[in-house]
Amino acid sequence: MTGTKKLYIKTYGCQMNVYDSERMAEAMGGQGYEEVSSPEEADMILLNTCHIREKAAEKVYSELGRYKGLKAEKPDLTIGVAGCVAQAEGAEIMRRQPMVDLVVGPQSYHKLPQLEARAREGHKALDTDFPEEDKFDHLKRRPKARRGPTAFLTVQEGCDKFCAFCVVPYTRGAEVSRPAARIMDEARDLVERGVREITLLGQNVNAYHGHDGGLAGLIRELATIDGLARIRFTTSHPNDMDDALIAAHGEVDKLMPYLHLPVQAGSDRILKRMNRQHTAEQYIRLIERLRDARPDLHLSGDFIVGFPEETEADFQATLDLIEAVRYGSAFSFKYSERPGTPAAERPQVDEAAKDDRLQRLQALLTRQQRELQDAMVGREVEVLFEKPGRLPGQMVGKSEYLHAVHVHDERIAPGDLARVRIDHSGPNSLRGVEAVLQKPQ
């Protein structure tokens, strides 16, 4: 094949997969590939998969089925599966879908160029090992093209918590932290290319230990980078929210007042069965300490309803916790079995009960979110603008609290920071007026 080759990547799941897809595209860019927006254009299709949600593997097989016609039309088309489903299913993917040419796990995607070359030679290519070497050492440096104003930056991978419902320890492996010096280099490079807000990523990001001061120390060092205006991090575990990180929320101006801190349930009995290793009371006291450090902190959480053996009283305890904490946003799901996890072997809650509980829980969360969003009307917030809106002269961005905000002001461009007064709260966004542009920090 001569000339530029075309790569189509479909990304499922979390922000870490978004980051991984970016790095996969960069790795294949060194092999002459450029990204395209549709599979029909592609010489290589790569599905970067997630194993967290219900029937994740079946959704991948269904997506692969859509490409059978393309493969028949273009026999040289390379089809690959990456990510957590690839790690969990391995050779089974190739057995069920023989048209798949390569399968690579999330810790081995730095080997994509070699796997693609092997596939081009007509061989099946499979790598789902947990290699000893750091994949980030083997990835090419990011190209110097301009970036949008926000970016993800993975600092930690894997998890040692072994929650009873979760496959992450099996698909992403043990907790590993990237050295702080490499993260600082990557962050400076991103800022040089136009990034003004960086979100630090990890399956258990506040367990990061690649800096002498832990995640708090890394955040404080990142805050010294000229031109970097905002820092966020996700996803955290309550047991790793240490004193230094709590203090950073009150002391580091560039650390945004928004925290995603999953609790999953409000019943101590269910938390113990989940192997969360904390109680509801401990979680609530932690939130109080965080809000003492940063009174305007907005909280986000994760909730699972219908966990095996959950009773109505257990579920009511979750509602009580939500009432006590008050969330600015949240993600909520019915429990779904993950083969190989302890919870999958336990007595399951009736699906009708799960549906009913999820509806009640989401109604409460929606009410809280709406009340907190409506309370922003009349306040002044700082917005980092990211892209034009749907209307002429409209720009859209995020407040420090991660609310979507739109403003009509033709002076504003992507990457600008501005103080705006909120004058209206819509279903999914806020409207700002009287924008005052801020100078770069």
What residues form the annotated binding site?
14, 50, 84, 159, 163, 166
Task: Please provide residue 46's backbone torsions phi and psi, each rounded to the nearest 5 degrees.
Answer: -130, 120
Q: In what order do the strands lie in the sheet with 197-201?
A: 150-154, 197-201, 230-234
Residue the block writes with tokens 């807000």: 197
> How far, in Å, CA of 419 to CA of 165, rounded?
42
Residue the block writes with tokens 């301009």: 146
> How far, in Å, CA of 211 to CA of 80, rounded?
35
Instruction: List the structure tokens of 273.
Output: 């069965």
Triad 196, 388, 47: Cα angle to 5°: 75
Helix/strand/coil for 399:
strand
- Report the first-to-last Cα separation within the chain, whole angstroms: 47
Give pairs for 65-74: CB < 8 Å, separation 24+: 65/97, 67/39, 67/99, 68/99, 70/39, 70/40, 70/45, 71/99, 74/43
Instruction: List the structure tokens of 216.
Output: 């708090």
> How far, in Å, CA of 407 to CA of 283, rounded?
37
Instruction: List the structure tokens of 351.
Output: 């699906």
Residue the block writes with tokens 């809650």: 349
Half-sphere exposure of 440 toward its Cβ, with a 13 Å CA cutoff?
Answer: 12
Helix (H) or strand (E) holding 423: strand 417-425
Torsion sign (Cα): 94, 29, 384, 251: positive
Task: Go through 297-317 and write b for each residue having 16 or more CB atoms within 10 A of its CB, e for each that does not.
Answer: bbbbbebbbbbbebeeebbeb
User: What Å distances lie between residue 154 and 76, 233, 248, 418, CA to CA?
Assistant: 33, 10, 20, 27
Annotated binding site for [4Fe-4S] cluster: 14, 50, 84, 159, 163, 166
Task: Give which of 430, 436, 441, 426 is closest to 401, Cα–Cα.
Answer: 430
Task: Give which of 248, 312, 303 is closest to 271, Cα–Cα.
Answer: 303
Strands 176-177, 197-201: pairing kind: unpaired
> How far, in Å, CA of 329 to CA of 331, rounded?
7
